[in-house]
Amino acid sequence: MKINRPHNRLVGSNPKIGIRPTIDGRLGGVRESLEKQTLGMAKATARLITENLRHADGTKVQCVIADRCIGGIAEAALCAEKFAKEGVGVSITVTPCWCYGSETMDMDPLTPKAVWGFNGTARPGAVYLAAVSAGHNQKGLPVFNIYGRDVQDPDDKNIPDDVKSKLLSFARAGLAVATMRGKSYLALGSTSMGIAGSSVDRAFFEAYLGMRVMDVDMIELVRRIERGIFDPREFKKALAWVKENCREGLDANKNHRSREAKDKEWEICVKMTMIVRDLMIGNPHLPGEEALGHNSIAAGFQGQRQWTDHLPNGDVLEAILCSSFDWNGIRQPYIVATENDALNAATMLFGHLLTGGTQIFADVRTYWSPAAIKRVTGKDLEGDAAGGILHLINSGPAALDGTGQQEVEGKPAMKPWWTITPDEAGKCLAATEWCPAVYEYFRGGGFSTRFCTRGGMPVTAARINIVKGIGPALQIAEGVTVDLPADVHDALDQRTNPTWPTTWFAPRVTGSGSFRDVYTVMNNWGANHCAFASGHIGHDLITLASMLRIPVYMHNIPEERIYRPSAWIECGDDFNACRNFGALYGKY
- For 396-417, the DSSP string reads S---GGGG--EEETTEEE---G
- The predicted pLDDT at position 396 comes to 72
Q: Provide CB contacts within 8 A for 198, sequence distance 6+.
A: 190, 191, 192, 300, 302, 339, 340, 341, 342
Task: Calculate helix-pair angle for 259-281, 232-245, nearest 10 degrees.
Answer: 130
Contact (CB, 8 A) for 262 and 434: no
- The predicted pLDDT at position 214 comes to 98
- The predicted pLDDT at position 349 comes to 98
**Can you list the pairs that 31-36 forms with residues at least 24 positions away whose Cβ atoms lie under 8 Å?**
31/69, 31/71, 34/69, 34/96, 34/97, 34/123, 35/69
| Known catalytic residue at 201 | no
| Known catalytic residue at 363 | yes
Q: Provide CB contacts within 8 A for 105, sequence distance 6+.
A: 76, 93, 132, 135, 136, 141
Task: Pick out the chain residues at pLDDT < 50.
Answer: none
Task: Calculate helix-pair angle for 574-581, 538-548, nearest 10 degrees.
Answer: 30
Q: Give the residues across from 60 on adjacent strands.
A: 54
- The predicted pLDDT at position 394 comes to 85
- The predicted pLDDT at position 304 comes to 93
- The predicted pLDDT at position 195 comes to 94
pLDDT digits (tens, 9 = 90+) for 97-141: 999 999 999 999 999 999 999 998 888 788 999 999 999 999 999
Contact (CB, 8 A) for 366 and 391: yes
Of 57, 106, 326, 339, catalytic = 339
- The predicted pLDDT at position 124 comes to 78
What's this model's pTM, rounded to 2 decimal places? Answer: 0.97
Task: Enumerate domains of the chain plus CATH numbers.
Answer: 16-180 (3.40.50.1070), 191-581 (3.20.14.10)
Sort 251 into a burial class: Cβ within 10 Å, 0-12 / 13-18 / 19+.
middle
Q: Which of 548, 575, 547, 578 is nearest to 563 (CA)?
A: 547
SS (H, E, C) 222-243: HHHHHCCCCCHHHHHHHHHHHH
Contact (CB, 8 A) for 57 and 6: yes
- Rounded Cα distance, 364 and 346, in Å: 17
* Phi/psi at 170 (5° precision): -60, -45
Of 57, 363, 493, 540, catalytic = 363
- Rounded Cα distance, 144 and 109, in Å: 14
- Rounded Cα distance, 505 and 482, in Å: 6
- The predicted pLDDT at position 121 comes to 80
